[in-house]
Structure 1
């Protein structure tokens, strides 16, 4: 994609312009120049200065280029839990103009092999703890020319040994244009196999700037960010932003999410911001360690990936103070659609915009559209569509998905919602989550919000299932607060009168733990699968 010559008055003397932009690796170059001796990354007991991170990223870039022939546009698959090498690999790929292709490290070998094949990966960086993944990728991808191992492993040369061997080799940041790909961001979707959303250097430069502007203004070298989610997805975007600002990154010491350790690190490093999802934020604020460690340094606790239940918002505000920031977005728009800043969160229902995920991010525009693409008015529910510089270039090698995802210049999110008269967005749910009962549309999100106002309910997911009379009815899958018990009759009576009767769930199912994705999100697909595996939907099929 290129813009060609500028349009306008041909007599104005405006020459055609290149679309060249700064390589994203320049964020690291700049931090190393300005802050070379200062700590840029912490993992466990180890610390790396900005100069050391830059030198290691250059050494790996040199190894990829000189030993394996990696060049601009090549895709490098990365299978690893969070570690310093994964953090560095992002910039090593960017520096060469290659494409960083991180996986969800919790996926199976066959699932990762599919990602390798779908991305056209020519090389792989794989943690030594995943030999089966490396083998599966080699078997599935004849073009996979090499595998580098993070740690000692028989399947590839050691990452740190390669860094040591190429230390000091000069690698300049490759020349890139705005639309050159830098990152294949795999989106899980609600159905079908993951798709590779193509993120570009120009797009991600805008996103980093926008994150700093809208989500965490004032962030700079005196700040520290704690990583509590995998760097392969939203947390990676957040950490790229920290590098752009010169703020240090603190990785959790192990892949297991240890809440007490997280709060200890907040106190030790005076952490000022973190990116998380509502379920993880809920766990953080409900843990006793939240009261045992000093978290007064926190200024921006950013949550995204799903709307946050009102009861959980209040608990977070009570525990942390006015520091929580919400944004809404998808991988295809790198989370860059709306923001609800800290000063617009309130524990007072009268002052809060309950159910809203905020207003449009700077430089972005939202349109609520009907099925034909016509724009709807305030408070009318339709599909949330978005345009602006944060929208991705498209799905890699997937013209059918691209044709469905874009319409008249708008990216179709697949989420349903409405804008109020002041432009604040409320999400009703995924289009795929909506069900029709007795001819009326039912949006599970509003039912879930009502159920969560019951003091004994901690988490809930509402699904539509077939019904011979009404077409579809709802099943509410609930997790109770620890030590509490509640029955179907009690919940049904609690909801009676709070919503139209056709919206009331037909059944309530209680589970000890809600199925969640690798990123801590409750997804309806996983909940439905869990119910099917336990035979809890058999009665609905029989009906």
Structure 2
């Protein structure tokens, strides 16, 4: 049997193969692979001198600095487990994570040339007890649960390394290619893009936080081969086009990865028109499944725009009802995923880990169905279902109908409590031109697209969708904005007509 793969070993080999090649390029420095490995060795020595033990969780503060990568690599070389926490995370959230991990050490390296014990902070005096579930773990990534309590997702070295190989088989990262890192490396999307770039011999290009205009300028003025963004960022770029921003060709850009939200057909077409030389690759996956379970490649999407795409090698799936029994084609149910690349479990929470699985499949909590062509179509989150007058409605179905109306860029639907109906359907729309929506015409249009009970009850308008902490459009934020009176209805449906 082959030995388990280790991400630290894979990066070390890449460093040894071409030590003088550029691993990371930042605004104010360039880090060779030799530099990256040397700095990681310093981190390793500091941890071992402090008494860090094998498989011990170590907090590491990150914000996409070059030194963040040497810190993570150093943690792995010391045999420890990296727990990345963004430098802007509030103290209360940091403490909640510390209570979950029982970590005694925290690394925070803001100057890549710094060295010494001052890089390491003591969080508590006692070493955490050995946890067998952390044996062979690379990361503990914290995600918010439906209750708001953070869940620690344990990601193993071997599983993640194998998933990177499966991703590369679909996307073909090459040596010397340059990946512009926009996504945070506290999230699995940003992490896998960074690791795969470094392991394949490419260069990570990192810069200060980019707005839409700065991102476009960077892509146009520097040799960048690929970038990963969430759809919100893509919408921001396209807004520049409507405002007359000069969209010069990005000759080097060959791949745009996006994920984390549903990618509409309209948005995909607009992005491809703005970046004709690049392949737009939409991915589906969760932190617990190590991301990238389905790939909607450009050629696939042009033929089947509503399908999730092709599953990664080794990934299988099923769609089941509330009893975990398979549903018939065309029938909606929960999408569940089985692969060799699943998480090792939730940290110190066996009950939650067991509840998240069924017969070896991970329960995604996402709704989907198999269409007439045998492809998976995504319908949104189970917990986001709107129950209006006893009828179950998925927000995505409403959103897809709304954005078909001329003059609407994007939309977000949610259910808001109502004494009579249980919930009413509220929709926030982003018009291409402010104050340009004829709501009576919109309602008539939707009556021809949706069953009557699915036609929204209340409309709002805004310049953009509300965002969560990951930079993705966030339905919970919309609910809070409506509940807090931060949005004023632009139109309310009444019997037979819509009042604006």
| Shift in alpha-carbon separation, 1:163–1:487, aligned structure 2, 3 A | farther
Equivalent position of 1:378 in the other structure? 329
Question: 1:310 Cα shift?
Answer: 1.8
Q: Is the 8 A contact 1:178 1:202 kept in 2?
A: no
Match of 1:99 among 81, 92, 95: 81
Please tell me whether residue 88 in structure 1 is matched to residue 77 in structure 2: no
Provide the C-alpha distance between the structure 2 equivalents of 1:213 and 1:285, rounded to a whole number of angstroms: 30
What is the SS of the residue equivalent to 1:296? coil
Equivalent position of 1:247 in the other structure? 202
Please tell me whether residue 70 in structure 1 is matched to residue 52 in structure 2: yes
Residue by residue, what CA displacement relative to the aligned partner does 1:181-228 show, whole Å, maximum 9, x if unpaired?
1101112244431201100011111111111112x22x2213110011
Match of 1:232 among 181, 186, 208: 186
Residue by residue, what CA displacement relative to the aligned partner does 1:53-91 show, whole Å, maximum 9, x if unpaired?
11111111111222x222321111123311011122221
Please tell me whether residue 395 in structure 1 is matched to residue 346 in structure 2: yes
Please tell me whether residue 259 in structure 1 is matched to residue 177 in structure 2: no
Equivalent position of 1:26 in the other structure? 9
Provide the C-alpha distance between the structure 2 equivalents of 1:382 and 1:102, rounded to a whole number of angstroms: 34
Equivalent position of 2:224 in the other structure? 271
| Shift in alpha-carbon separation, 1:485–1:189, aligned structure 2, 3 A | farther
Q: Is the 8 A contact 2:249 2:275 kept in 1?
A: no
How is 1:57-456 mapped onto 2 (pairs within 5 angstroms)? Answer: 57-66=40-49, 68-126=50-108, 149-151=109-111, 160-162=114-116, 180-214=136-170, 216-217=171-172, 219-233=173-187, 234-252=189-207, 254=208, 256-288=209-241, 291-321=246-276, 323-346=279-302, 352-456=303-407
Question: 1:385 Cα shift?
Answer: 0.3
What is the SS of the residue equivalent to 1:331? coil
TM-score, scaled relative to structure 1? 0.82
Equivalent position of 1:143 in the other structure? none
List alignment gaps of at least 5 residues for structure 2. Answer: 121-131, 493-500
Q: Is the 8 A contact 1:106 1:518 kept in 2?
A: no
Q: Is the 8 A contact 2:301 2:307 kept in 1?
A: no
Residues paired across the two proteins, number: 475
Q: Is the 8 A contact 1:284 1:290 kept in 2?
A: no
Provide the C-alpha distance between the structure 1 equivalents of 2:488 and 2:356, rounded to a whole number of angstroms: 32
Q: Is the 8 A contact 1:76 1:99 kept in 2?
A: yes
TM-score, scaled relative to structure 2? 0.88
Provide the C-alpha distance between the structure 2 equivalents of 1:524 and 1:400, rounded to a whole number of angstroms: 28
Match of 1:475 among 406, 426, 437: 426
Match of 1:39 among 10, 14, 22: 22
Question: 1:105 Cα shift?
Answer: 4.1
What is the SS of the residue equivalent to 1:345? helix
Question: 1:178 Cα shift?
Answer: 11
Residue by residue, what CA displacement relative to the aligned partner does 1:505-533 show, whole Å, maximum 9, x if unpaired?
11112234422122221121111112222
| Shift in alpha-carbon separation, 1:45–1:409, aligned structure 2, 3 A | same
What is the SS of the residue equivalent to 1:279? helix
| Shift in alpha-carbon separation, 1:76–1:179, aligned structure 2, 3 A | closer
What is the SS of the residue equivalent to 1:486? coil
Question: 1:229 Cα shift?
Answer: 1.2
Provide the C-alpha distance between the structure 2 equivalents of 1:523 and 1:449, rounded to a whole number of angstroms: 16
Q: Is the 8 A contact 2:324 2:358 kept in 1?
A: yes
Q: Is the 8 A contact 2:414 2:427 kept in 1?
A: yes
What is the SS of the residue equivalent to 1:326? strand
Question: 1:457 Cα shift?
Answer: 2.2
Provide the C-alpha distance between the structure 2 equivalents of 1:290 and 1:180, rounded to a whole number of angstroms: 49
Q: Is the 8 A contact 2:315 2:340 kept in 1?
A: yes
Provide the C-alpha distance between the structure 2 equivalents of 1:483 and 1:468, rounded to a whole number of angstroms: 32
| Shift in alpha-carbon separation, 1:38–1:535, aligned structure 2, 3 A | closer
Equivalent position of 2:123 in the other structure? none
Equivalent position of 1:49 in the other structure? 32
What is the SS of the residue equivalent to 2:445? helix
Question: 1:116 Cα shift?
Answer: 1.9
Q: Is the 8 A contact 2:367 2:380 kept in 1?
A: yes
Question: 1:284 Cα shift?
Answer: 2.8
Provide the C-alpha distance between the structure 2 equivalents of 1:114 and 1:488, rounded to a whole number of angstroms: 46
CA RMSD, 1 decimal: 2.7
| Shift in alpha-carbon separation, 1:99–1:446, aligned structure 2, 3 A | same
